[in-house]
Homo-oligomer: A and B are copies of this chain.
Amino acid sequence: MTQIDPPGFTGSLLDRSDLVRTDAERLAAMRASPAAKLLALEGIDPVLDAGGRLSWKSLDEAHPDAELIFLGIEEDCPRFAEVRRDLPDGVNRSVAIFRMLDIMAAGEAGTYAAARSLIDWHVRHGFCARCGTATAMFRGGWGRKCGGCGSEHFPRVDPVVIMLGEYEGKVLIGRQPAYPKLRYSALAGFLEPGESIEEAVAREMWEEAGVRTRAVRYVVSQPWPFPSSLMIACIAEVDRATLTIDYTELEDARWVSRAEVAAALAHEAGAPFLPPPRYAIAHTLFEHWLAGE
């Protein structure tokens, strides 16, 4: 059996210790611990050490106005991240982050993903969606509570289906206009209220490529912290090769064989497309498909 790496952003060693979040006394002890560490960030990007690992600093170095998120415990050290209202570049994606992800281990990226998604959510949720009043962090940073109506708000996780449509031994790949040159990937879209994973896959295949889906099999998942998606990777049998492409979503879509996908993943000269990066679930999905799953 082919050895397939675990998906990017999975395998974090963080113990989330959720009971601490709602226990004011234990939370205070974690903050007061001399072993406590603060995630080092530049804006919302990580600061990596020479080995490509996350850097941590002392809690004393937190910005005086920052709110602190209790991430959990790793290597016996309580781990925190700070939410600064004055984030220099806000929570936009930098060019640098994707270069960093190329060299980070998946587990380290997973710890960072949790912190990044939470910080991003706090920065964009300072007010109550129900009444418009300012909110404040509670539960150690795993929620915000309204100072007016008392509503409790919790971080979002947005499920996204990402899938390879399969027909007669080939799979469907597509490219969005914003992709780097020659890059193709699996089709994808946000799952909507009122549908299952299987229904979202079928709807997206229909909307983007005009093909009907016969069977959907779940393959693997990963968190994707831009800003807080849950990527759910599937393989779907479709009913025909003829495509009706939605050009508002895709620039192109095409069928590729196992040999073509293998050449692309191996970055062979003459491969028909550039694959998604190693840390993206689409890469893992291609590997699973090649392995015959």
Contacts and interface: CB of A to CB of B under 8 A. Distances in A.
A139 to B, nearest CB: 12
A76 interface: no
A111 interface: yes
Interface residues of A, number: 59
Contact of A221 (B9, B154, B198): B198
Contacts of A290: none
A193 B126 contact: no
Contacts of A18: 207
A164 interface: no
Given A16-B203, A114-B194, A197-B221, A157 B155 contact: no
Most buried by B among A121, A133, A153, A197: A197
Contact of A158 (B115, B116, B157): B157
B127 A131 contact: yes
A191 B198 CA distance: 19
A-B pairs with lowest CB-CB distance, top 7: A114-B194, A117-B193, A127-B132, A218-B218, A197-B221, A132-B132, A113-B194
A223 B193 contact: yes
A185 interface: no
Contact of A7 (B133, B196, B225): B196
Contacts of A127: 127-132
A235 B155 CA distance: 26
A232 B197 contact: yes
A136 to B, nearest CB: 13
12 contacts: A16-B192, A117-B194, A127-B129, A128-B129, A128-B132, A132-B134, A156-B193, A159-B230, A195-B223, A196-B221, A196-B230, A197-B230
